[in-house]
Amino acid sequence: MNNPDTTRRDEIAAGLTEVERRIAAACAAAGRARQEVTLVAVTKTYPASDVRLLSALGVAHVGENRDQEAAPKARECAGLPLTWHFVGQIQTNKARSVVSYADVVHSVDRPRLAEALSRAAAGAGRRVTCLLQVALDDDPGRGGVVPSGVAALAEAVAASEGLVLGGVMAVAPLGGDPGRAFARLAEISADLRTDHPEATVISAGMSGDLDHAIAHGSTLVRVGTALLGRRKPFVR
């Protein structure tokens, strides 16, 4: 038991078991099949060695939120059977780097970013699935398009070379009722699917509120803390 990697593996395995139990319980309570919900392990601030352990435990999707951290980590983990998700805000000058490893970008919230991602994806011969991040609290500080802007942004993404419109993403407003927020996101998703039936992804739910999100139709949960432990405060 003195092997630190064995200990870390056991910690992550225990976190994964508990997260899987919560997802299964929330699906059962909502009358949904477990396979309707994808688990993305958010590995920000944790090392590539943790990504390897997650992969060995059967996790197939990982998420990151800062390009400076994600790019080298994805390179170190090249060869593992992983789908990489980018869940943080993106400056347009980072589009080329993000597109080099990310299969899914959850944070598309403005036409200029869609344009930059499209140019980068087309240049690299990649197809990137884009989720439209919706601001559910009218607080643009955390990113996101306001609900009334979703339809136009969806058209822009759907018409862009190299981009695939996948669906919507949101973070529940701080201090608000997550159930209400996720119900609103479900309505926005339903509206989007009248014009774009293929855009079925609803990326919603984190460690604290994944149960509420699954109750309201989330098809993808983004979980960090509950799998890997509390992150140290980030210092830039």
Ligand X SMILES: *Cc1c(COP(=O)(O)O)cnc(C)c1O
Which runs of E-coded beta strand occur in the chain? 38-42, 61-64, 83-86, 104-108, 128-133, 163-169, 201-203, 220-223
* Residue 87 binds ligand X, judged by CB under 6 A: yes
Query: Locate tokens 């079925």: which residue?
Result: 200
Comparison of 123 and 140: residue with beta carbon closer to ligand X: 140
Is the C-alpha dihedral spanning 222, 205, 132, 140 positive or negative?
Answer: negative
> What is d(CA 31, CA 150) in angstroms, rounded to the nearest whole number?
29
Residues 152, 177, 225, 234: which binds ligand X (CB under 6 A)? 225
Count, residues near ligand X per rule CB under 6 A = 14
Q: What tokens appear for 204 in the block?
A: 């919603």
| Subset of residues 21 to 80 that bind ligand X, contact rule: CB under 6 A | 42, 44, 65
Among 41, 53, 77, 206, binds ligand X (CB under 6 A): 206
CB 98 within 8 A of CB 122: no
The owner of tokens 């802007």 is 149
The residues in 163-182 that bind ligand X, with binding defined as CB under 6 A, are 171
Q: Which of 189, 197 has the CB closer to ligand X?
A: 189
- Binding mask of the shown chain, residues 114 to 153, with x at each position contacting ligand X by CB under 6 A: ----------------------------------------
Binding segment (CB under 6 A) for ligand X, from list 76-84, 149-157, 172-180, 204-212 = 204-212
Nearest to ligand X of 118, 218 (CB atom): 218
Q: Which of 13/122 has CB closer to ligand X?
A: 13
According to CB under 6 A, which one of 207, 211, 214, 217 is a site residue for ligand X? 207
Cα distance between residue 48 and residue 194, in whole Å: 40
Q: Nearest residue to ligand X, using CB?
A: 224
8 A C-beta contact, residue 95 and residue 108: no
Least distance in angstroms from the C-beta of 177 to ligand X: 17
Q: Supply φ then ψ for residue 77, to 5 degrees.
A: -100, 10
Cα–Cα dist 74/52, whole Å: 11
Residues in contact with ligand X by the rule CB under 6 A? 42, 44, 65, 87-88, 171, 206-208, 222-226
